A and B are shown apart, each in its own frame.
Chain A
């Protein structure tokens, strides 16, 4: 038990009370001070240690996880030292305070700061009015990213959801369902950077000449079919579609898993009744399954749409955004970290936020509907 608020009833008398209060006060100051000292020493050790890396890593893990747990224990202990009225009032904030503070620092306040930054110049010193937004909506570079993100959004989302639905439907009728689904799902575990290497190798091009054998599967297949090998990743508009293929490869598994569980939720009696009435498979699909899983379909589509808007890693690793493959998130990265233009970067981030606003509103509506009595 960490609780030690109850002062000992035995210890009466003004002196005893005073000393115990003073003692408690000192302890209350001492314990947090020691805690902070220990945590600070840990931090200093980590930031300039020359111990073997494995030692550093283990210390970092213990220090990080233990430190957070320790802070909660000490904070709770301190709050319980207060008079009962105050401790009761303050204790909820021991629980929610850290989370709220961190989210405030990392997400809520940055929205406002980025909004302000989007009206200021590249270093954030002068007001520039709408100049950054003028850049975002008129510069050819930006227009190219919008066009490409639209391709990602339309083709990436459509094929991920459609393929995911097809596989979910087919697998539902197969005995080897688990195996098929596991295989399609595997790319979900792979980083976009890893997927970038995988697909860059698929698309690689060696050139033409005597005795050269293409080592990329795409070009090898094209050669085998009598075509001409090409450096596909340098060739707009094909390169965009080749990048979108990677997104489809990664996201179909997600769509499939979620849709598959929704399809399993369609009542068997309903499907049976439709079959007895002589409805064809297509008819059953469009008139029963689709309406039944509509909600899930919307959620999955929304999630993948947001993913396609924020796509970054794939483009960064595969083409760096060159040769007409730039996307919004990559241009954001370039503006903020390569060209050091915080104003333009902020404006791009705000535009991304505006794009997801409908989803935010939808989420809030759903939340209010579900939790009337919150």
Chain B
């Protein structure tokens, strides 16, 4: 048995329910269209695992808003680009990287669920440029929880959630077998 703690109990707090999550994605889609003057030359790339279904949803929303075919969606796995690969250890649990379009001279919107230290995004930028030279890269995240360790900022944010480092943001999505919601929870070992 772990020793009793004086801290708050680890009850997850819901910060986005399914309706507000959908609205946040719709707003992000509108902002992307507004900032880029339409959906011409646009592409979305989701970061495994949660970023991929989020990118698909935003893309189909952009298609709906513009009344055109949605911009193409790709997926990248950044495991092999991490700066802490040696600390986390080798793994075979990699998802396929699949960018089924030429990113050369396209405006690419990277999509991830939670922006935290910024290290994932740095890795994703490295991975992305191995596929070509995009005209521009923008970043869309569902939740920005702060605590950046690198000079990286999101262009589109679903919700800013102030957190402490002992907390964890959990994103559930229907595509990944949950029901749409974002929770803030205490991590018992305080590691993340």
* Binding between chains A and B: no
